[in-house]
C-alpha cells in the first residue's frame, strides 16, 4: 500500500485536518483521529497531528503508509520489561496515553489479563520508555507513597537543540510556583544537537521539557516548548518529541529488593541520533 497524497482545493480551504482526513478516506472522525495519533500525517512535508490544524488552499496532505492501518501500532503487544504478581514495568510506545480510555493501561489490562492493573505514574503521550504499573490496590498505594517520598529514581534521555556545554548541569527553576530540579548530563554533542541524560528530583508536569527550553536547549520535536525554534528540513521529519524514560529504579513494594529496569532506545529516537551524528 502506497502513501496517499491529497492537494487542498478551494472547497477545502480552512477545513480542519481531522475533517479533511475523515472526508477523503471515508472514515469516522474517531478513526481519522487514530491516524493522526499515530503521527502518520504530514502537511507540506511536516508531520502534523493536531486535529484542529487549519488547512489552506495549495497545501499538500500526505497520509503515510504506516498510518493506513487505523488500528494503530498500539495493538501490537506492548514489550514487558519486568513483571511479577505485584507490579509490571512496560516499555511505553510514543503516541499513546498512560492511563484513561484507549490508553496503555487499558491495553495492558487486556494483554496481561489483569483487570486491576493501574498506572502508578504518567508519561506524556509523546514520551516513550519505562512506565510502572501496580497489579492491585495495595501495591498501588505503596508505590504512590514511594513516589511522594522521592525514593523512586527516573532517568530520561533526550535529544535537544544546539550544542550544549559538556559536563553536568543542574536546572533549578520553579514550575507552577513549586520547586523543580533537573540534573542534566551531556552524553554527546554535535554541531546542531546534544544527547543528554536527565534525572529529576521533582516530578512537575512537563518538567524536563520546560527546564531544557528554559536553558535554550529545547527538546527536538517539542511543538509546545520549542515553538520559537525554526525547523530545518532535518527537523521537519522528526515525528514527536525526542524524550525517552530510559531507566527506573525503585524498591520493590513487597520484597524491598532494589529494582533497576531499563528501556532500550526506540527506533525513532535512534534514527534522530543518527541524523545528528550523535551516540
Mind listing the pLDDT tens digit of every residue in the chain (279 residues)? 457 888 998 888 999 999 998 887 767 787 788 888 888 899 998 889 899 999 999 999 988 755 555 444 445 689 999 999 999 999 999 989 999 877 999 999 989 999 999 999 999 999 999 999 999 999 999 999 999 999 999 999 999 999 999 999 999 999 999 999 999 999 999 999 999 999 999 999 999 999 999 999 999 989 889 866 665 545 656 878 999 999 999 999 999 999 999 999 999 999 999 999 999
Nearest of 257, 250, 255 to residue 149 by alpha carbon:
250
Domain 4-67: CATH class, spelled out: alpha beta
Which sequence positions are flagged as catalytic?
Answer: 124
Which CATH number does 74-275 carry?
3.30.2350.10
Domain residue spans in the chain? 4-67, 74-275
Q: What does the pLDDT read at residue 246?
A: 98
Q: Which three cell numbers stand for residue 115?
A: 483487570
- DSSP code for 196: E
Segments of 87-225 assigned E as strands: 87-92, 118-119, 128-134, 153-161, 168-172, 181-189, 193-200
4-67 and 74-275 share one CATH topology? no
Cα-to-chain-centroid distance, residue 113: 25
Q: Which three cell numbers stand for residue 99?
A: 492511563
What is the C-alpha to C-alpha distance for residues 75 and 89, in angstroms, rounded to an integer? 18
Amino acid at each position: 500500500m502506497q502513501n496517499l497524497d491529497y492537494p487542498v482545493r478551494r472547497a477545502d480551504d480552512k477545513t480542519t485536518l481531522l475533517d479533511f482526513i475523515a472526508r477523503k478516506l471515508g472514515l469516522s472522525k474517531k478513526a481519522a483521529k487514530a491516524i493522526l495519533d499515530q503521527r502518520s500525517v504530514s502537511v507540506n512535508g511536516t508531520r502534523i497531528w493536531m486535529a484542529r490544524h487549519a488547512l489552506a488552499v495549495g497545501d499538500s496532505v500526505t497520509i503515510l503508509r504506516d498510518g493506513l492501518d487505523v488500528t494503530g501500532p498500539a495493538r501490537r503487544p506492548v514489550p514487558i520489561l519486568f513483571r511479577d504478581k505485584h507490579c509490571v514495568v512496560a516499555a511505553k510506545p510514543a503516541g499513546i496515553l498512560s492511563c484513561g480510555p484507549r490508553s496503555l493501561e487499558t491495553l495492558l489490562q487486556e494483554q496481561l489479563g489483569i483487570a486491576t492493573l493501574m498506572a502508578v505514574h504518567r508519561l506524556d503521550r509523546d514520551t516513550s520508555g519505562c512506565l510502572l504499573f501496580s497489579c492491585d490496590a495495595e501495591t498501588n498505594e505503596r508505590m504512590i507513597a514511594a513516589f511522594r517520598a522521592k525514593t523512586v529514581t527516573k532517568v530520561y534521555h533526550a535529544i535537544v537543540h544546539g550544542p550544549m556545554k559538556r559536563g553536568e548541569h543542574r536546572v533549578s527553576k520553579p514550575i507552577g510556583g513549586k520547586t523543580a530540579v533537573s540534573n542534566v548530563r551531556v552524553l554527546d554533542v554535535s554541531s546542531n544537537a546534544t544527547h543528554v541524560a536527565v534525572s529529576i528530583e521533582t516530578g512537575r508536569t512537563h518538567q524536563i521539557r520546560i527546564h531544557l527550553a528554559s536553558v535554550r536547549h529545547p527538546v527536538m520535536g517539542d511543538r509546545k516548548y520549542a515553538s520559537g525554534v525554526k525547523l530545518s528540513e532535518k527537523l521537519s521529519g522528526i515525528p514527536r518529541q525526542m524524550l525517552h524514560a530510559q531507566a527506573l529504579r525503585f524498591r520493590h513494594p513487597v520484597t524491598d529488593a532494589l529494582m533497576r529496569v531499563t528501556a532500550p532506545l526506540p527506533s525513532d529516537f535512534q534514527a534522530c541520533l543518527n541524523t545528528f551524528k550523535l551516540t
